[in-house]
């Protein structure tokens, strides 16, 4: 997801994209320069934090709305504390993982840019990101990305998850019938 965000940001600045190419020393060096100008590691961390807040914010309410939890639980202080400890644990684990793997992620990002953009295109992106508008774009990207992810979740994922839940009983019924016919899969032969 983070790679897609950074690529999307680059696409805004450069409407013409080169066909994927084998990275050369020149394209890889330019890609590393672009990532440095973009403050890609910092942008990735900020985007991750903003997205995690957007994804975890209101999790209890979403679980209640999906009928996975009774409504009174959301108001219970003990439940809220349990939920917060869990969310804090997940956020800390994700953040620690990203911090540890950031150099590897940036190496891969450099390769992605080097394969998909020419030196000239990356030079244009660098020039753009050095402008005041480019800097504002980089500054706002974590919030815009998180709000976009939330909008996507609310608009598309809610109905999709509802459809998946509605289809679950039929799926489970068919799966049980299949496993009953196939003892090797854990069912019982009739």
In this predicted model, which residue has the larger pLDDT, 25 or 17?
A: 25
pLDDT digits (tens, 9 = 90+) for 169-180: 887 888 788 888
What would the mean pLDDT of 88-112 be, rounded to a whole number? 89
**pTM for the whole structure:** 0.59
Query: What is the pLDDT of the chain when averaged over all its residues?
Result: 79
Give every CB contact of residue 131 below 8 A, 6+ residues apart in sequence: none
Question: Is the pLDDT reported for residue 105 higher than 80?
Answer: yes
Question: Is the pLDDT reported for residue 26 higher than 80?
Answer: yes
Instruction: Return d(Cα 146, Cα 53) in angstroms, integer.
Output: 8
Contact 56, 90 (CB under 8 A): yes
Question: Is the pLDDT reported for residue 17 higher than 50?
Answer: no
Q: 55: how many CB neighbours lie within 10 A of its CB? A: 17
In this predicted model, which residue has the larger pLDDT, 187 or 81?
A: 81
Instruction: Return d(Cα 34, Cα 26) in angstroms, integer.
Output: 12
Instruction: Return d(Cα 7, Cα 3) in angstroms, integer.
Output: 6
- pLDDT confidence of residue 187: 56
Question: Would you place residue 11 in the very low, low, confident or very high pLDDT band (cuts 50, 70, 90)?
Answer: very low
Contact 23, 119 (CB under 8 A): no
CA 112 to the chain's CA centroid: 17
């Amino acid at each position: 997801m983070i790679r897609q965000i950074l690529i999307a940001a680059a696409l805004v600045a450069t409407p013409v994209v080169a066909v994927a190419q084998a990275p050369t020393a020149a394209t890889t060096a330019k890609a590393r320069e672009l990532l440095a100008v973009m403050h890609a590691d910092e942008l990735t961390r900020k985007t991750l934090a903003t997205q995690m807040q957007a994804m975890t914010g209101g999790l209890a309410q979403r679980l209640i709305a999906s009928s996975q939890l009774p409504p009174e639980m959301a108001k219970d202080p003990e439940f809220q504390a349990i939920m917060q400890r869990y969310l804090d644990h997940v956020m800390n684990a994700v953040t620690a993982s990203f911090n540890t793997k950031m150099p590897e992620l940036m190496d891969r990002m450099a390769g992605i840019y080097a394969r998909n953009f020419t030196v000239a295109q990356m030079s244009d992106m660098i020039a753009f990101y050095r402008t005041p508008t480019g800097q504002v774009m980089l500054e706002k990207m974590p919030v815009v990305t998180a709000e976009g992810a939330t909008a996507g979740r609310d608009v598309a994922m809610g109905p999709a998850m509802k459809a998946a839940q509605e289809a679950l009983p039929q799926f489970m019924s068919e799966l049980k019938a299949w496993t009953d016919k196939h003892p090797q899969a854990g069912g019982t032969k009739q």
